[in-house]
Structure 1
Amino acid sequence: MTTTALDRDLPPDIADLPATLDWLAHLRADAPIWRDRYGMHHITRAADVEVVLRDTATFSSDFSAVMPGSEKMTKGMLTRLDPPEHGALRHLVSASFTPKRVAGLEPRIRELTREMLPDPPATFDLVDALAFPLPVTVIAEMLGLPAADRGRFRAWADGLFSLQVEDPKEAMDDPTVRDTMGEITGYLGDWCRTRRADPVDDLISALVTTEVDGRVLDDEEAANFSMLLLFAGHITTTLLLGNAVRVLDAQPGAWEALRADPASIPATIEEVLRLRPSFPLTARATTRDVEIAGTVVPARSIVVPWLLSATHDPEAHPDPERFDPTRPGIGGGAQTAFGHGIHFCLGAPLARLEARVALEEMTARYAGLSVGEGDQRPYTGRVLGTRRLPVVAT
């Protein structure tokens, strides 16, 4: 192993994907449990990542014991809850994300896609034209939020996913984080109060009127939950569509192959998710001393399972850098990019549908689609993708 990889005390910037993949490969080989300068333990082998994500008793999603001050900002946040509360809240909205219910959205998604895509020949920004407005319009309609506010949603998402906090354990004490989260939950809290007084057929109304374990969510819980649904409900697809076009652009003949065989689009999406998961890493807090890959991680430690490393682990996916939509074992619940266990992404069926419809419509409309010149403004930190994607359609 090169001394450079071992000598680092923080991960590389995710915007430099080749450097990050190289670093993760070195860690999988020689330091599968790696401790950074802040005492966070990074988990890189696929088998270990899966154990961490499935064992909720040992690896908690509740960070209140290790990140003081996080309780208020994560109250009602599904991704930061453990059983049994997690199950009760997930059940509250799971009916809106069943495959059958999501499938019923296909006509609307296809209508929006056709309206948003420019006719060829055209040079445009894929994120501006489709990858952002399509999923944010869909989730806003599901929540009952005005589509006219989507510019505000984009500014918030860009702000949240671009924040650079030196010590992640102190993120909740960062004034920029507090101010941004406060602005978002203030906006959503107003909508929660409106829907509580006058409920309609939307997700926010369901959040504020449905009993969970004998009680209804308060406005703070409902606003936090709404925030999770709003951002998780669009950023995954926004990043996925951009990543799909970038991956296809690097594979000679891939676009033409999809045009010739649209039935291969779902498998292509799964392979894009494996190669470029929208969220390359997540985090958990240990509730006890635990041994992982021969290393004892103390209780009240933060561990960082790298989904990107798991999806590129040759022990799980032979020849992992090769683009192969026929690769077995990457679809459905086996898709590591959507997580594992109880926190498997609630919106996975919706993200898959939006991506499939978008690629079907783009490959039908454009004989060719290539990445053009211009600044793509890659994200840094915890998401993998770009804020911009200039493309040339023929």
Structure 2
Amino acid sequence: MTTPATHLPGDLPPDLTDDTVVFDWLATMREEHPVWADRYGVFHVFRHDDVLAALRDTVTFSSEMTRAVEGAAPTPGMLTQIDPPEHHALRKVMSSAFTPRSVAALEPRIQEITRGLLDRTGERFDLVDALAFPLPVTVIAELLGLPPEDHARFREWTDQLFDVQLGDPSDPAAAARLSEVVAPMVAYFRDQVRNRLVDPGDDLISRLVTAEVDGRTLDETEASNFAFSLLLAGHITTTTLLGSIVRTFSEHPHLWDDLRAAPERVPDAIEEVMRLRPPFAQLPRITTVDTRLAGRTIPAGAMVTLWVLSANHDPGAHDDPERFDLDRGIRGPNQLSFGHGVHFCIGAPLARLEARVAVHGLLARFRRLVVELDPGRPHGGLQPFGQIAYGTRRLPVLAMPGFGGESR
């Protein structure tokens, strides 16, 4: 890994595997190059106010990333890649099938799954394998009506997708590689949608294919793409978030006792962890016209990477941003980890609910969990994601003795 000082204009960003390198580089870029073009002509935006401005301006900063790749076809039903007004129409239909009430009704089942998973843990276990992956994937798969025997392939698909090295993001060959990886996932969900069209059941996919708002329905492609994106984002977000929560609590061990004494503060702790370690480090956009940001001109048709991770650590937006502060009160535009504006994550209520239930379960079960790093392995053996997702694929933990919590 090169040092931050070598990452000058015309180079490429470091990957996300080394926190020290990444945070030093982001601090340098916020201060010296708040809008910066890499060797592929991708513009990177680092300051909180600039990231927020771009997220709010969906006319200038389009989410239709297929514009960047010659010959690429649009992806109907992928809310994250559709602009208003079509985005509004589709989101209305999808929201009618994925309501806050239906999410809130999942809490007893999430509690049940959490208890069952934690019952199978021992003194030492991998948090990702034991809880952070199976909890959200079970919840979202049950919500979609997908069979339990398919859960293992969902993790394989996720690993394959995040292992794709894109290089030049405008290169048609890179898009072809990505399409090849995604193809079996798309085919799987198309089959699921077709089955529901013939024999609908009591699940989210069935509600998607039968939902109608203001005369608008979803066609087969839109429904299958949305179901696919919901499974992917719906579990990777919570998987990385739960790992980040336990890593942060391990670094600040007083939080275990503090939150056990004041469990109503658990949502505040989750929001602060999301600020420090957002599940996704970056959000992509493409400009539709020439525009200026932080004093620099970004030409029309340029790919833009909005660094949520950098914005969340911007001292211009957050006092002493590297400090964990339970009283920080992250709300509204200060919390960018689920996006902002029309593209605010539709699954955010579910992710927050899963995280809250899981943290309460951990507090009741364990006096404390300590992350066990292996100094003989790269990154302590945690296997962090290298791009986009910000988190780890492994998180070995030791359950500290001395607390007589549930089933302990």
Report the TM range for the smaller structure's normalisation: over 0.9
Report if the CA contact (8 A) 2:97-2:208 is conserved. Answer: no
How far 1:376 sits from its partner (Å)? 1.4
CA 99–333 in structure 1, closer or farther in 2 if over 3 Å, else same: farther
Counterpart position of 1:12: 14
The 1:200/1:172 distance shift into structure 2, 3 A limit, reads farther
Partner residue, 1:372: 372
Q: Is the 8 A contact 1:143 1:204 kept in 2?
A: yes
Provide the C-alpha distance between the structure 2 equivalents of 1:95 and 1:248, rounded to a whole number of angstroms: 36
Name the amino acid aligned to 2:342. I
Equivalent runs, 1:1-394 vs 2, <5 Å: 3-6=5-8, 9-72=11-74, 74-118=75-119, 122-170=123-171, 173-211=174-212, 214-328=215-329, 330-331=330-331, 334-374=334-374, 375-394=381-400
> Separation in 1 of the partners of 2:216 and 2:100?
28
Secondary structure in 1 matching 2:282: coil
Contact 1:109–1:134 at 8 Å: present in 2 too? yes
Q: Do the aligned partners of 2:110 and 2:357 also contact (CA within 8 Å) in 1?
A: yes
Does structure 2 conserve the Cα–Cα contact (< 8 Å) formed by 1:44 and 1:310? yes
> Does structure 1 retain, via aligned residues, the 8 Å contact 2:283–2:305?
yes
Q: Secondary structure at the match of 2:202?
A: coil
Q: RMSD value over aligned CA atoms? A: 1.8
Structure 1 42/7 Cα, relative in aligned 2: closer, same or farther at 3 Å? closer
Residues 121, 130 of structure 2: 8 Å contact kept: no
**TM-score under structure 2 normalisation?**
0.92
Q: Structure 2 unaligned runs (5+)?
A: 375-380, 401-408
Confirm or deny: 8 A CA contact 1:199 1:205 kept in the other structure: yes
The superposition leaves residues 88-147 of structure 1 with CA deviations (integer Å, 9 ceiling, x where unpaired) of 111122245443332211100000000001467511111111100111111111111112
SS in 2 for 1:283: strand
The change in CA–CA distance for 1:53 and 1:311 in structure 2 (over 3 A counts) is same
Q: CA deviation at 1:217?
A: 2.7
SS at match of 2:370: strand
TM-score normalised to structure 1 length: 0.95
Determine the C-alpha separation between the residues in 1 that align with 2:100 and 2:62. Answer: 28
Aligned-partner Cα distance in 1 for 2:156–2:40? 29
The whole-number CA distance in structure 2 between the counterparts of 1:140 and 1:3 is 44
Q: Tell me the equivalent position of 2:403.
A: none
2:370 counterpart letter in structure 1: S
Task: Provide the C-alpha distance between the structure 1 equivalents of 2:120 and 2:153, rounded to a whole number of angstroms.
Answer: 27
Residues 333, 230 of structure 1: CA spacing in aligned structure 2 closer, same or farther, 3 A cutoff? farther
Q: Secondary structure at the match of 1:326?
A: coil
Q: Deviations over 1:4-50 (max 9, x none)?
A: 34256111111112211111111111110000000010000100000
